[in-house]
Amino acid sequence: MALICGHDAPAYGLPLCEHIRTAATDPLDHYVHYTGRGVERQRICALCRNEAATAVVAAVCETCFDATEGSSLGVLGRPQTLDASRPVRGMVETTQLPAEAGPVLDIAPTEHGFVLLCDDGRILRWDTDSGTCTEAARSTVRVPADTKPWCGREQALRLHASRDGAFAAVVIDYGRTGEVIDLSTGAVTIPLENDGYYSSTVPFSLAFTEHAGRTVVLYRTEWRIIEAADAATGAALTRIPMADPHSDWSGYFHGALHPSPAGTRIASDAWWWHPVGQTFVWTLDRWLTDGESAWTEDTGRWQLPACDYYWNRPVVWLDEDRLVLGGLGDDEEELVPGARVFLLGRGQGESVLKEVAAFGGPDGHFFAADGLLFSSSQAGLEIWDPAGGARLGTLADFRPTHHDRTRGELVELSAIGLRRWSTTHAAR
């Protein structure tokens, strides 16, 4: 059956109002209009703006859609937020930071308490159960005095730690340098410096994982290269190839790295010209086992949908197979708060990507535990059902910054100390 444009072809893009569809000469500029029915959206013109609910919209074919491509006027309406809120159980408990720490810049939860980065460079190991706090190392990484923020992104020190707390890394997000430190000796095992090529556009790519009985650190050395090294010795293990003969995967500017909970896969919140944010994911085990040569067509890897001008977005794994990206829309100018859930599967030797849910509402930092999605924003902590998209509850005065998986707690680093809440309270 033919579309309203008269062509017998698949519907393409968003449905269009009749004025955009039938513009005789120049394309009309458009709003993206969320109808309030789920995440349904359409393109309507300025004439339709005041009566958006009754705009006459219909889908057209790809050729006709592309011919209507005007500029964006922004977003009207919002996606539906399903609210199934119930009172949230459990108290937010405050633990004062150790007095000897002084101002704390960042924290990293590990299996053996917290690692703290103090503003004088000291790295402390702090066992919140026993209250013991010991100095493990001193970092010399400093944000250069003359840096200018990129799009409001200030360079800032960031602390990472390995799961067992044996290693830490201090890096400059949106900057160039950092170091990996063995906390048993205080020695720097890997000095980090990336090539500085557009490094101000992304947090310093770094993540710890484990492989074959050792701690491995992944980090950005050049804009398009992630290297993996033994955290204890600095010995290089593998890297993303400079040129990928099998696809165009070597043209990404790597950003924040997000390992899956069990460390089988990793997502890079990357971008490419011109500029388009695009998260991509690859399988860690084979890459770390076989090295650079594992980077062939059947290496498990997935390209998530692109979004013009937008990266540094909320990203979290629900489990080893499901990845959640924050933000609905495919252009930063038309982005609204929400979550998209993707299933990263394999079939007949190929990677298969399936979007299994999309819903409005979640904003800010994302966390996941016990099959639930958590968002931390100005609205506070909100709990979401990632399958149906309903909001299950809100803790308005709690804005967690970290996830302590060992103790099952979301943690907010605040001026008065650590504020902690157990995610088991969210389970039904």
Contact footprint for Zn ion (CB under 5 A): 5, 7, 17, 19, 45, 47-48, 60-61, 64
Q: How far is the CB of 39 from Zn ion (least distance, A)?
A: 21
Cβ at position 7, least distance to Zn ion in Å: 3
Q: Regarding beta strands 257-259 and 265-272, do their DSSP bridges make them parallel or antiparallel, or are they unpaired? A: antiparallel
CB of 109 to Zn ion, least distance (A): 52
45 or 323: CB nearest Zn ion: 45
Comparison of 44 and 413: residue with beta carbon closer to Zn ion: 44
Whichever of 17 and 381 has its CB closer to Zn ion, that residue is 17
List of residues 6+ apart from 59 with CB closer than 8 A: 3, 4, 11, 12, 13, 14, 15, 16
Is 10 or 213 the residue whose CB approaches Zn ion more closely? 10
Q: Which is nearer to Zn ion, 52 or 231 (CB)?
A: 52
Give the distance between the most distant pair of CA atoms in the chain. 74
Burial class (CB in 10 A: 0-12, 13-18, 19+), 45: buried
Are residues 377 and 367 in contact, defined by beta-carbon separation less than 8 angstroms? no
- Minimum distance, C-beta of residue 75 to Zn ion, in the bound complex (Å): 16
Looking at the Cβ atoms of 55 and 232, the one nearer to Zn ion is 55
Minimum CB separation of residue 52 from Zn ion in Å reads 9
**Smallest Cα–Cα separation from 177: which of 125, 236, 124, 220?**
220
CB of 67 to Zn ion, least distance (A): 8
Residue 44 Cβ vs Zn ion, minimum distance, rounded to whole Å: 5
Instruction: Annotate 341-378 with b (16+ C-beta within 10 A) or e (fewer).
Output: bbebeeeeeebeeeeebbbbbbbbbbbbbeebbbbbbe
The one-character DSSP state at 33 is E
- Count CA atoms closer than 13 A to 127's CA, side-chain side: 7
174: left (phi over 0), alpha (psi -120 to 50) or beta: left
Q: Whole-angstrom Cα distance, residue 224 to residue 174?
A: 15
In eight-state DSSP terms, residue 242 is: S
* Residue among 47 and 235 whose Cβ is closer to Zn ion: 47
What are the strands, taking DSSP E only, across 119-202? 122-126, 133-138, 156-161, 167-173, 177-182, 187-193
Which neighbouring-strand residues pair with 290?
none
- Token pair, residue 12, equals 């393409």
Q: Which is nearer to Zn ion, 51 or 146 (CB)?
A: 51
- Rounded to a whole number of angstroms, the minimum distance from the CB of residue 18 to Zn ion is 6
